[in-house]
Amino acid sequence: MLWFSLLVLIPLLAIVIQASEGGWQAYWDALTSPQTAAALRLTVTQALLVTLVNIVMGTTIAWVLVRDRFWGKQILEVVIDIPFALPTIVAGLVLLSLYGPSSPLGVDWANTKGAVFLAFLFVTLPFVVRTVQPVLIELEPEVEEAAASLGATRFRTFASIILPALAPAITSGAALSFARGLSEYGSLVLLSGNLPYSTEVASVRILSYVEGDKLTEAAAVASILLVVALLVIVLLDLISRRVARHG
């Protein structure tokens, strides 16, 4: 327990305290300074967009993995976890090779907002899939058969019976995906160029503040990310309690 507090709580507390050094005004100024505000806006919007895509694609991928049968499906299982296991800097390099200057596709999205979107999409790939998959596996086939016997088409069964059962899992996955996107750093270093006002994200902002020895400002931005992380955790806890109630 003691070790855990040393490692976790004290440093996190330090951020909060450092951020409040200089009072509310300094805190607010740091957050609303044009470059920082732009970085925060970019980070949040891209993370939200990516989360929306993940909700749809993640559920689809989970569905195919659980309900479909074809040669090579096992390979896909490993593929989905690659973004989770791969070092983020390597992820940047990986995406650069297909979407950067020497791309065989002829596109070049390096240093654009698209690069930020792409990087977020890559690193958040596994989250919705992995939360939805176990729930899909556990779904009783009898419930779908019951719906069929009562006259529901496959589509109706999916919309009225399956999707509501998946909703908590999708929400958990979406929350994790959003938090992860918000915190991303490594893959953007090489891919987005970290151009101020256009491809600079919140994490990069913090790093520049640190390198410029502006620790209070750094802590201010960091505190926002911290608050979001805590909100996500609370949300996940609420969801798991609600699911337990439904039995």
Q: Which of the residues 200 through 229 are near another protein (CB under 8 A)?
A: 202-203, 206-207, 210, 215, 218-219, 222, 225-226, 228-229
Smallest distance, Å, CB 25 to another protein?
21
Q: Which of 36, 171, 179, 200: binder of another protein (CB under 8 A)?
A: 179
Q: Which of 39, 47, 61, 116: binder of another protein (CB under 8 A)?
A: 61
Q: Which of 57, 111, 113, 214: binder of another protein (CB under 8 A)?
A: 57
Q: Which of residues 109-168 bind another protein (CB under 8 A)?
A: 121-122, 125, 140-154, 156, 160-161, 164-165, 167
Q: Which of residues 81-120 bind another protein (CB under 8 A)?
A: 81-83, 85-90, 93-95, 97-99, 104
Confirm if 200 and 85 have CB atoms less than 8 A apart: no
Q: Is 50 a binder of another protein (CB under 8 A)?
A: no
Shorter beta-carbon distance to another protein: residue 17 or 28: 17
